[in-house]
Amino acid sequence: MLDDFMVRAALAGAGVAIAAAPLGCFVVWRRMAYFGDATAHAAILGVAMSLAFSMSIFIGSMTVALMMALTVSVLSGRGYAMDTLLGVLAHSALAFGLVAVSFITGVRIDLMAYLFGDILAVTQGDLAVIWAGAAIVVALIGWRWSALLTATLNEDLAYASGIDPKREQLVLTFALAITVAVAIKVVGVLLIAAMLIIPAAAGRPLSRTPEGMAVAAGTIGIFSVIAGLRAAYEFDTPAGPSIVCVAALTFLLTSVFRNVRA
């Protein structure tokens, strides 16, 4: 079954959707959308470095994404507004990454594959990495769920319950870096933030509890992957963007549903 590239693609997409669902909820609740984007953009520099030092793309992009996220965490609140800081760091990292890639000779690189992903070329090895990464992210967030939720609601409430909001922020940062690294192959660095945010936002009108929203986001994410792949096959469109298009249409649908109900 795993011999079929469409099945591998669907499984890879589902893995990313499952990791992105709970994480994406926190990204939405904490208004970290741009933070996710910035981390993802930085990952292209990681890709360049992986190719230059011939290490695994997963490790390279995860390391740079993590460094990026930590840098932003440390620098925030030191004179620059968060979005300025993210804008500077994210786009510098992306630009340096693109320049660095051009220096690498001898390796033929399909840059588009990293910018937009190449879900149809997922190997069994990629699948193992994606599902292992997704399992780590889900386990990590599941383990810290209540603490993360409390810290998201109010930092002082968290402190009063003996929770350190800064540590919880670090957990999210780490989970984000892993998710970016595993999602590069599937949707590419430019659309990772879409996989985080759109299913979560689309799940919002359907849910009454935080847990419900995470489940809704996961379901919508998996549905988008399957329907998007199907559409890409049918209409010969690029797979990653097709997945995001389906997610966006779902968002539209649930938003209308909310407004009709309200």
Considering the rule CB under 8 A, would residue 201 count as an interface residue with another protein?
A: yes
Q: Name the residue nearer to another protein (CB basis): 206 or 231.
A: 206
For 32, list phi and psi in degrees, rounded to 5: -105, 20
216-245 residues near another protein, rule: CB under 8 A: none
56-95 residues near another protein, rule: CB under 8 A: none
Among 28, 176, 191, 217, binds another protein (CB under 8 A): 28
Among 6, 7, 29, 120, binds another protein (CB under 8 A): 29
Nearest approach, Cβ of 203 to another protein (angstroms)?
9
Alpha helices in 104-162 (DSSP H): 111-116, 124-153, 155-160
* 152 neighbors 140 (Cβ within 8 angstroms): no
Among 3, 31, 106, 235, binds another protein (CB under 8 A): 31
User: From CA 103, how far away is CA 96, in angstroms rounded?
Assistant: 11
Among 79, 105, 125, 209, binds another protein (CB under 8 A): 209
Considering the rule CB under 8 A, would residue 207 count as an interface residue with another protein?
A: yes
Nearest approach, Cβ of 123 to another protein (angstroms)?
37
Among 150, 219, 242, 254, binds another protein (CB under 8 A): 150
Q: How many residues bind another protein (CB under 8 A)?
A: 27
User: From CA 186, how far away is CA 179, in angstroms rounded?
Assistant: 11
User: From CA 134, how far away is CA 28, in angstroms rounded?
Assistant: 19
User: From CA 53, how far away is CA 68, in angstroms rounded?
Assistant: 19
Among 6, 100, 120, 149, binds another protein (CB under 8 A): 149
Contacts of 176 (CB under 8 A, 6+ apart): 23, 27, 35, 36, 39, 65, 69
Nearest approach, Cβ of 90 to another protein (angstroms)?
22
User: From CA 37, how far away is CA 85, in angstroms rounded?
Assistant: 13
Q: Which stretch binds another protein (CB under 8 A): 90-98, 157-165, 234-242, 247-255?
A: 157-165
Q: Name the residue nearer to another protein (CB basis): 83 or 164.
A: 164
Nearest approach, Cβ of 166 to another protein (angstroms)?
11
User: From CA 38, how far away is CA 70, in angstroms rounded?
Assistant: 12
Nearest approach, Cβ of 86 to another protein (angstroms)?
19
**218-232: string of b/e by CB count within 10 Å (b at 16+)?**
bbbbbbbbbbbbebb
- What is the SS3 assignment for 135? helix
Dihedral angle computed from the Cα positions of residues 36, 38, 39 and 43, in that order, rounded to the nearest 10 degrees: 130
* Per-residue binding letters, 159-188, with another protein (x by CB under 8 A): xxxxx-------------------------
Residues of this chain that bind another protein (CB under 8 A): 28-29, 31, 146-147, 149-150, 152-163, 201, 204, 207-210, 212-213
